[in-house]
């Protein structure tokens, strides 16, 4: 990058021709050329340098989407970053780039619900078998590898239950068996962890979340190394999974403050975690307790922690959990996260019965909190007044 992460975010992708701090939104479906020879020269340049932003049709992108791809490629320290319309679009693209009928994939058990449905149910129609492993016991990964295993898909930490895995061990197992690897790194972003640099083939971030930071845009990024680039490039061309220029512009704008926002999210969340940890019926699912396995694995790989956390609450009264959430005044009730605002959800995990390694009894409930940029004292007071509803 040349500069530090923080400086790079502030000074990258300026449009010196238009003298604007951020690159302008360029919308185009048809791109005009001076002659047929001009088109052919552009196509040759694209074949020679497929990451160089040589476009002959709007679906391939515009200068706005190319600017975002270049920024993220440097942030990820990857060979290239593909842009998709949603975060889940990047999950879909990563998998369908390397997996074919008859293949098997290994998936960490507590993954994001749509990822679970895609691999567990939808893949069956394509004769692709998904096997789920225990993120806390990598022998369940190693022992399920066969000659058909094509991909190991990691989500770190686990969705809702926040297990942290030994990532280097997973990479070592994969390389030894010549298996592709992909990691959903939305929680950490490349500000806290760079999966490609660590050894993963593909790294996914939902740009809807922290990249945007303002809860007003959808998007996804898929960073790749050189080994897997051609597979993903082919799948992207066929699928048409591309981000639009307006979304790319908003994400570039959000990236300017990514470091500042994430630093504040981390400070606030650690304060909230310490407060909630005192409550007898609550287990805080966040890497802040020294000596725990999750803390050790987080500390080994990450430079920091973001604002998403879980609470495992023990109660025979399910209604009291809803009352606790519904009584919160400063926490919104809604899906997604990563914006400036705090959010709360009672996560009734639909696939709980099918999740072999989900260590959750019927009297234990998961509440997911996203800690925003509000004053943490106000958030603590809000939580304090609502905790009385837990019976």
Q: Could you tell me if 241 and 269 lie in one domain? A: no
Say how many domains are in the chain.
2
80 and 20 belong to one structural domain: yes
pLDDT tens digits along 188-243: 999 999 999 999 999 999 999 999 999 999 999 999 999 999 999 999 999 999 99
For residues 102 and 232, membership in a common domain is answered with yes
Whether 43 and 115 map to the same domain: the answer is yes
- pLDDT of 376 reads 97
Q: For residues 188 and 126, what is the distance between their CA atoms, to the nearest angstrom?
A: 32
Per residue in 41-68, pLDDT (tens digit) is 888 888 777 777 777 776 778 889 999 9
Residues 198 and 297 in one domain: no
Chosen domain end from 255, 287, 318: 255
Q: Which of 231, 255, 279 represents a domain boundary (last residue)?
A: 255
CATH code, 344:
3.90.1150.10
Q: Are residues 233 and 275 in the same domain?
A: no
Closest among 45, 20, 42, 23 to 31, alpha carbons compared: 42
Q: What is the token pair recorded at 119?
A: 């691999």
Which domain range does residue 290 map to? 258-389
For residue 88, the model assigns a pLDDT of 97
Residue 45: the pLDDT is: 83
Does residue 236 sit in the same domain as residue 305?
Answer: no
Residues lower than pLDDT 50 in the chain: none
| Domain endpoint, select from 255, 286, 308 | 255
Looking at the structure, tell me whether residues 270 and 341 fall in a common domain.
Answer: yes
User: Quick one: pLDDT at residue 57?
Assistant: 72
Examine the domain organization and report whether 44 and 142 are in the same domain. yes
Q: Are residues 284 and 240 in the same domain?
A: no
- Catalogue the long-range contacts made by 113-117 (C-beta closer than 8 Å, 24 or more residues apart): 113/159, 113/349, 113/350, 113/351, 114/88, 115/88, 115/91, 115/153, 115/155, 115/184, 116/351, 117/351
Q: What is the CATH number of the domain that holds 14?
A: 3.40.640.10
State whether 222 and 173 are in the same domain.
yes
- Does residue 136 share a domain with residue 162? yes
Q: Computed from CA positions of residues 339, 340, 341, 344, in that sequence, does the dihedral angle turn out positive or negative?
A: positive
Nearest Cα to Cα of residue 221 among 55, 29, 89: 89
> What confidence score (pLDDT) does residue 353 get?
53
């Amino acid at each position: 990058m040349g500069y530090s992460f923080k400086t790079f975010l502030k000074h990258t992708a300026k449009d010196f021709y238009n003298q604007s701090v951020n690159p302008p939104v360029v919308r185009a479906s048809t791109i005009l050329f001076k002659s047929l020879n001009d088109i052919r020269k552009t196509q040759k340049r694209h074949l020679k340098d497929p990451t160089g932003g040589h476009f002959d049709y709007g679906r391939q992108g515009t200068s706005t989407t190319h600017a975002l791809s270049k920024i993220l490629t440097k942030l990820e320290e990857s060979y290239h970053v593909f842009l998709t319309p949603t975060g889940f679009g990047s999950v879909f693209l990563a998998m369908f780039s390397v997996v074919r009928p008859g293949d098997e994939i290994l998936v960490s058990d507590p993954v994001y619900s749509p990822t679970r449905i895609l691999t567990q149910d939808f893949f069956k129609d394509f004769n692709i078998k998904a096997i789920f492993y225990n993120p806390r016991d990598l022998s369940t990964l190693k022992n399920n590898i066969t000659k058909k295993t094509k991909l190991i898909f990691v989500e770190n930490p686990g969705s809702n239950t926040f297990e942290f895995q030994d990532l280097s061990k997973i990479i070592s197992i994969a390389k030894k068996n010549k298996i592709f690897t992909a990691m959903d790194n939305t929680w950490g972003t490349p500000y806290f962890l760079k999966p490609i640099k660590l050894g993963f083939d593909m790294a996914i971030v939902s740009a809807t979340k922290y990249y945007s930071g303002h809860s007003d845009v959808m998007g996804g990024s898929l960073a790749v190394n050189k080994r897997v680039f051609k597979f993903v490039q082919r799948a992207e061309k066929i699928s048409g999974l591309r981000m639009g220029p307006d979304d790319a512009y908003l994400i570039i704008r959000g990236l300017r403050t990514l470091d500042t926002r994430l630093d504040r999210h981390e400070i606030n969340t650690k304060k909230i975690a310490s407060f909630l940890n005192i409550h007898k019926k609550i287990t805080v699912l966040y890497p802040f307790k020294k000596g725990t396995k999750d803390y050790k694995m987080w500390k080994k790989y990450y430079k920091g922690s973001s604002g998403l956390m879980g609470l495992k609450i023990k109660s025979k009264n399910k209604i009291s959990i809803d009352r606790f959430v519904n009584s919160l005044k400063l926490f919104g009730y809604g899906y997604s996260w990563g914006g400036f605002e705090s959010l709360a959800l009672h996560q009734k995990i639909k696939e709980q019965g099918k999740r072999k390694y989900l260590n959750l009894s019927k009297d234990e409930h998961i509440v997911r909190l996203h800690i925003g940029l509000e004053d943490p004292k106000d958030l603590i007071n809000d939580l304090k007044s609502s905790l009385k509803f837990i019976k």
